[in-house]
Amino acid sequence: MDGMQPEATTPLLTIEGARATIRLNRPAVHNRIEPADLLKLIEHFRTIEADPDIRVVVLTGTGKSFSSGYHLGDLANRPEAEVTARDDGPSFESVGDMLENLKVPVICRLNGGVYGGSTDLALCCDFRIGTESCEMFMPAARIGIHYYPSGMKRYASRLGLNAAKKLFLTAEKIHAPEMLAIGYLTEVVPADRLDARVDALATRLASLAPLAVQGVKRSLNEIARQDFDEAGALERAKASQKSEDLREGLAAFREKRAPVFKGR
């Protein structure tokens, strides 16, 4: 197998305890996302949402790159594919929105470069841990695409207007230090520390009270999109005050031990 690329497949899902991992798996084309991958991602998201034992998700790619983005050949054949859902499959935009709205926290393990639409997939995640060799660019202006609405909103709300304009309007490549400076990356680590850091963060997130983590994630995303449901947030806050998780958290604090949360 030396020197041979692994067989390309649709994204892979593995579940180990409280952690689910989704791996983009087309390394020969830098994990380019095909129409079939969108369907498989939605299937994986639904599996995760239906499993109350999953408390954190890791999204990553096989090989040297995270992802080279959506298949431009398919986009050329179906000009509305990026924005408009179809009878025979979802849009790239709708898959990103579904990823952003997963109830549990999502860590993007950026094992390499991230390009095109996949820069937005990473922004849909709650944390982005990348290596010192990471790079990104958004070539929409270079190839003639006006980006879809929710992606532009994520760029502007998470990175700020100036950074969003630079990335969209110039189509310039940036590297890990600037990705960190503008907030695209949550952290930068040496390549040989990437797995350990992702593991540590995933373990930390999975150990916290699920009702509180999931409720606050939802509220913060709503605030970022400027569609905050304050009444809904208040109801989630009241529910957390009546939860077994809160009783367990307070008991563990008094007893100076690690809490064991059940998510109810």
State the pLDDT at residue 143: 83
Q: Which two tokens stand for residue 199?
A: 């593991």
State the pLDDT at residue 1: 36
Q: What percent of the chain shows pLDDT beyond 90? A: 71
State the pLDDT at residue 261: 83
State the pLDDT at residue 16: 96
Question: Given a cut of 70, is residue 10 above it in pLDDT?
Answer: yes
Question: Given a cut of 60, is residue 87 above it in pLDDT?
Answer: no
- Select the more confidently predicted residue: 181 or 146: 181
pLDDT digits (tens, 9 = 90+) for 212-241: 999 999 999 999 989 999 999 899 888 888
State the pLDDT at residue 76: 56
The stretches of the chain forming alpha helices (DSSP H) are 35-50, 72-77, 92-100, 118-123, 140-143, 149-159, 161-170, 176-181, 194-207, 210-224, 230-241, 244-255
What is the pTM assigned to this prediction?
0.90
State the pLDDT at residue 146: 87
- Select the more confidently predicted residue: 84 or 172: 172
φ, ψ dihedrals at 254, nearest 5°:
-65, -40
pLDDT digits (tens, 9 = 90+) for 88-127: 568 889 999 999 999 999 999 999 999 999 999 999 999 9
- Average pLDDT of the residues in 36-43: 95
- Interior CA angle at 245 toward 240 and 246, to 5°? 65
Average pLDDT of the chain, as a whole number: 90
CA atoms within 13 A on the CB side of 215: 21
